[in-house]
Amino acid sequence: MEISKPNGKLGVLIPGMGAVASTFIGGVEAIKKGIAEPIGSMTQMGTIRLGKRTENRVPLVKDFAPLAKLDDLVFGGWDINEESLYEICIRSKVLNENMIEALRENLDLIDIWPAVFDKKFVKNIDGNYVKSAKNKMELAEKIIEDINMFSEKNNTRSNIMIWCGSTEVFFRPGAVHSSLGKFEKGLLSNDPEISPSMIYAYASLKKGIPFANGAPNLTIDINALTELAQINKVPIAGKDFKTGQTLMKTILAPGLKARQIGIKGWFSTNILGNRDGEVLDDPEAFKTKEESKLSVLDSILQPELYPKLYKDLYHKVRINYYPPRGDNKEGWDNIDIFGWMGYEMQIKVDFLCRDSILAAPIVLDLVLFLDLAKRAKMKGIQEWLSFYFKSPMTLPELYPEHDLFVQLAKLKNTLRYIMNEELITHLGLDYYDEH
């Protein structure tokens, strides 16, 4: 596969310059300065095996695939509050103050433009740094103007857009989402079922910019925008960054299934106090997140294939806003399992995690991999990036693969394919047939 070289600046455009975005950008700037390590990032710290185990070819991913260099990343974004990125870092209380002060000069240089915002879709927060226009098409055009200004100012060779904004309220696709033509008419007529995240995605795809959705919103997973991605030959990926509790589920559930351990119930509850938690305190926004979280276990465990083990599984998810915790989230899982002859056992998990710290390396990897996909002339849904999402996008006729280890194998085999290397099946019989 022919891949163009990543020469020049790569722009990273982020709707929603909150805790996740500021932690990501601050982290990249700290790594550039040599005062932090990119822990959690596969593109920076991961390796990939090539050929047989006996060949001992195990380069770093960043040395194997022609990825953009961190020094070439430049940042801009949109937010509903008129603050500098330095001020956002201070308010978010994720990075320590000494680190923030060391990065202040870099953070103050980053452009943040007024956002597209509609309180109907995010009810528990508000802001006054917001674009106004006669219709939603004009809002999309104003986003494109921001992108053009940013690209010219930074002399970018290409850009990537990643939604790091708040979770929008739950709703299902309607007629306006069914085709590109109907969607564009809806933009002109201010259709109430076109959300801010969709407006950003439309602007991004019209510009030929790859787009990833880091929230569980109905955004690019609609016919209108997947159609536009195909027409303009743009890679897309989503949705909902796989960070805390769901990460644990995609690690534990495949292991239990592999050992044919039965599960009677899986109760999950979370407490968190950041802006995401405040947004999810609204039942309609929580419904969006709940749908994303609940789908994981059914997909991994396949109760239709293993009815004796998982048919009667009771799965409950709770998220509670608790301001004292800030970005420090705590996720409890109680798992009621049964084994040989039906004997019952339990697993208890208490995961004290930091949402933005777990999300930041995901954002970095998606930026670099989507840029790679664009340069490799890949388009449409990038299922090989499912590894990073709670609710991965697929073609309508395919069920999403949630098993973390299957997702990892898919991702690495895709990299091998792109780079014209032999795919790894892990069969291993040929080692022994040769003796």
Domain boundary among 332, 353, 374: 353
Which DSSP helix (H) or strand (E) runs through 370? helix 355-375
User: In terms of domains, do 143 and 197 share one?
Assistant: yes
Please name the residue that has the structure tokens 């309508």: 396
pLDDT of 149-187, one tens digit each? Answer: 999 999 999 999 999 999 999 989 999 999 999 999 999
Beta strands in 96-152 (DSSP E): 111-114
In a domain, 288, yes or no: yes
Please name the residue that has the structure tokens 């010219």: 152
pLDDT of 372-394, one tens digit each? Answer: 999 999 999 999 999 999 999 99
- Classify residue 341 as exposed, middle or buried by CB count within 10 Å of its CB (0-12, 13-18, 19+): exposed
Chain Cα centroid distance, residue 306:
30
In a domain, 323, yes or no: yes
User: In terms of domains, do 373 and 342 share one?
Assistant: no
User: In terms of domains, do 284 and 219 share one?
Assistant: no
The CA distances from residue 190 to 122, 172, 183, 220, 253, in Å, are 17, 18, 10, 18, 43
Please name the residue that has the structure tokens 């201070």: 90
Confidence of residue 221 (pLDDT cuts 50, 70, 90): very high
Taking a C-beta distance cutoff of 8 angstroms, is the pair 80, 129 a contact?
A: yes
Query: Does pLDDT of 244 surpass 70?
Result: yes
Mean pLDDT of 271-288: 75
CA-based nearest residue to 209, from 200, 218, 217: 200
Cα separation of 198 and 183, whole Å? 10
User: In terms of domains, do 36 and 182 share one?
Assistant: yes
Taking a C-beta distance cutoff of 8 angstroms, is the pair 391, 362 a contact?
A: no
User: In terms of domains, do 332 and 374 share one?
Assistant: no
The CATH number linked to 304 is: 3.30.360.10
The CATH number linked to 104 is: 3.40.50.720
Alpha helices by DSSP H, 232-301: 245-258, 275-280, 283-301
In a domain, 411, yes or no: yes
Average pLDDT of the chain, as a whole number: 94
In a domain, 434, yes or no: no
Identify the pLDDT of residue 17. Answer: 97
CA trace torsion 179, 158, 162, 154 (10° rounding): -130
In a domain, 213, yes or no: yes
User: In terms of domains, do 223 and 316 share one?
Assistant: no
In a domain, 429, yes or no: no
CA-based nearest residue to 75, from 6, 140, 16: 16
Cα separation of 231 and 117, whole Å? 27
Domain count for the chain: 2
Query: Does pLDDT of 434 surpass 70?
Result: no
User: In terms of domains, do 59 and 165 share one?
Assistant: yes
Helix axes 97-107, 85-92, angle to 10 degrees: 160
Identify the pLDDT of residue 433. Answer: 78
Beta bridge partners of 159: 11
Please name the residue that has the structure tokens 């609940």: 294
pLDDT of 296-312, one tens digit each? Answer: 899 999 999 999 999 99
Mean pLDDT of 408-420: 97
Contacts of 29 (CB under 8 A, 6+ apart): 103, 106, 107
User: In terms of domains, do 185 and 263 share one?
Assistant: no
In a domain, 390, yes or no: yes
In a domain, 387, yes or no: yes
pLDDT of 59-110, one tens digit each? Answer: 999 999 999 999 999 999 999 999 999 999 999 999 999 999 999 999 999 9
CA trace torsion 178, 179, 180, 185 (10° rounding): -70
Cα separation of 89 and 99, whole Å? 10
Identify the pLDDT of residue 292. Answer: 62
Identify the pLDDT of residue 293. Answer: 64
Identify the pLDDT of residue 309. Answer: 98
Question: What is the phi/psi pair of residue 248, to 5°?
Answer: -60, -40
Query: Does pLDDT of 124 surpass 80?
Result: yes
| pTM given for the model | 0.94
Beta bridge partners of 389: 241
User: In terms of domains, do 266 and 141 share one?
Assistant: no
User: In terms of domains, do 43 and 185 share one?
Assistant: yes
User: In terms of domains, do 61 and 124 share one?
Assistant: yes
- Three-point CA angle 107, 109, 111, nearest 5°: 100
Mean pLDDT of 354-360: 94
Identify the pLDDT of residue 435. Answer: 59
Taking a C-beta distance cutoff of 8 angstroms, is the pair 228, 202 a contact?
A: yes
User: In terms of domains, do 76 and 155 share one?
Assistant: yes
Domain that holds residue 161: 9-241+357-418
Cα separation of 166 and 285, whole Å? 9
Strand 73-79, strand 111-114: pairing: parallel
Q: Helix, strand or coil for residue 332?
A: strand
